Amino acid sequence: MYDKLNHPFFIYPRGFMSEYNEYSLYRQEVIRLYNFISNLIDEYAEKYSFSDVLIPFIIGSSMEDVLSKSHTTFDNIHQYSQLFPNYINKFISHNDNKKFIQIIIISPDNIFSPNSIHIPYFTLYSPYDFVNTNFNEYIYLDEFIKIKVNIFNCPLPCLETRNSLVIRYQQMINKLNPNTFNITTYKQNQTDIDFINSFYSSLDKLFSKSISESRLKIIINSWVNFKNLDGYSENYGMFPNLLKLANKYNIIATEWDFIDNLVFTKIISNYGDVNGNKNFYSCYVNYVNDKLLKPEHDIGTNLFVIDFNSKYCLKNETIK
């Protein structure tokens, strides 16, 4: 159905000259992601509608990649929490109900490629004994808890509207001799456009269940960020449809500044009271632990931890 898929993604900075140019792999993986989400909708209804369900939807793997390549100090190993945020532990402990946690990680970093030997740090440092059950799939299971992690080695689909950039890169691609990048144009074809629309339609169906099913929680975390390079990832600029869905279904969606030891992420969705009486846009969340200490930059009292026993699932204390 999608055999003519070309490039249903935002063009990364530097295009095919960047490290994110495994286009053949990305096409395969994004189709696998699409099928996974479509199947998860049915799987939720068939298996988990009577459990407490949490779906962390995680884009990017900035610190996982940096740590794996020794581009930062081991003192920052706590950043494994980017792919296994502390709110997962909070979700598990907030009551005695059976729990299903489905972590979906979408990242083009080559640490998750079929040729990589990298083992995700959450399998080593989280308190759960994960088993590698398939390619980029890890499961922890006991009598009351199932945690399933599925990683997709690709960017998130996005309609590319920067036509001048497409033309400029086309001129560069035409000069390649030989062309070894498995792409001849960044111009999105009709298959790309249809795929993007279908992908977000499926995501819409999944996210909509968080409104109708009170036992289902969805949180979106983006770690997509380019160090010392602004103007790309801010405000979900590389996947704006995802932010639209977060706002539509009142889902916490966050983004992070690329500072190696920064443990706070910022809410950029219009999350809050559906009647508009309370809004948490631009508030910060500690994703590593429960500490509500004042960070190095002054954010006043807009610092929270995700706590499923608290109103709005956010806990705030006066910062000393």
DSSP string across 28-71: HHHHHHHHHHHHHHHHIIIIITTSEEEEEEEE--HHHHHHHTT-
| C-beta separation of 258 from 237 below 8 A | no
pLDDT at 32: 98
CA pair distance 165, 187, nearest whole angstrom = 10
Count the helix, strand and coil residues of the chain and give each as a percent rounded to the nearest 5: 35, 20, 45
pLDDT tens-place string over residues 8-62:
999 999 899 899 999 999 999 999 999 999 999 999 888 887 889 999 999 999 9
In this structure, the number of other CB atoms found within 10 A of the CB of residue 42 comes to 9
Question: Where are the domains positioned within the chain?
Answer: 15-275
Phi-psi region of 193 (alpha: psi -120 to 50; beta: other; left: phi over 0): alpha
pLDDT tens-place string over residues 107-117:
999 999 999 99
Give 191's pLDDT tier (boundaries 50, 70, 90): very high
| C-beta separation of 235 from 243 below 8 A | yes
Pair of tokens at residue 246 = 């977060």
Burial status of residue 77 (CB atoms within 10 A of its CB: 0-12, 13-18, 19 or more)? middle
pLDDT tens-place string over residues 55-83:
999 999 999 999 999 999 999 999 999 99
Give 120's pLDDT tier (boundaries 50, 70, 90): very high
CA pair distance 275, 16, nearest whole angstrom = 45
pLDDT higher than 50, residue 230? yes
Q: Is the peptide bond before 295 cis (omega within 30 degrees of 0)?
A: no
pLDDT higher than 80, residue 86? yes
pLDDT higher than 70, residue 136? yes
Alpha-carbon torsion, ordered 46, 37, 111, 17, to 10 deg: 180
* Among the listed residues 238, 203, 182, 158, the one whose alpha carbon sits nearest the alpha carbon of residue 24: 182
Name the strand (E) or helix (H) holding 200. helix 190-212
CA pair distance 192, 208, nearest whole angstrom = 24
pLDDT at 247: 97
Question: What angle do helix axes 190-212 and 23-43 make, rounded to 10 degrees?
Answer: 30
CA pair distance 129, 112, nearest whole angstrom = 20
Pair of tokens at residue 43 = 């799987």
Please provide the DSSP assignment of 227-257 as one string: TT--SSSGGGTT-HHHHHHHHHTT-EEEE--
Does the pTM exceed 0.85? Answer: yes
pLDDT higher than 70, residue 292? no
Secondary structure class of 106 (helix, strand, coil): strand
pLDDT at 320: 39
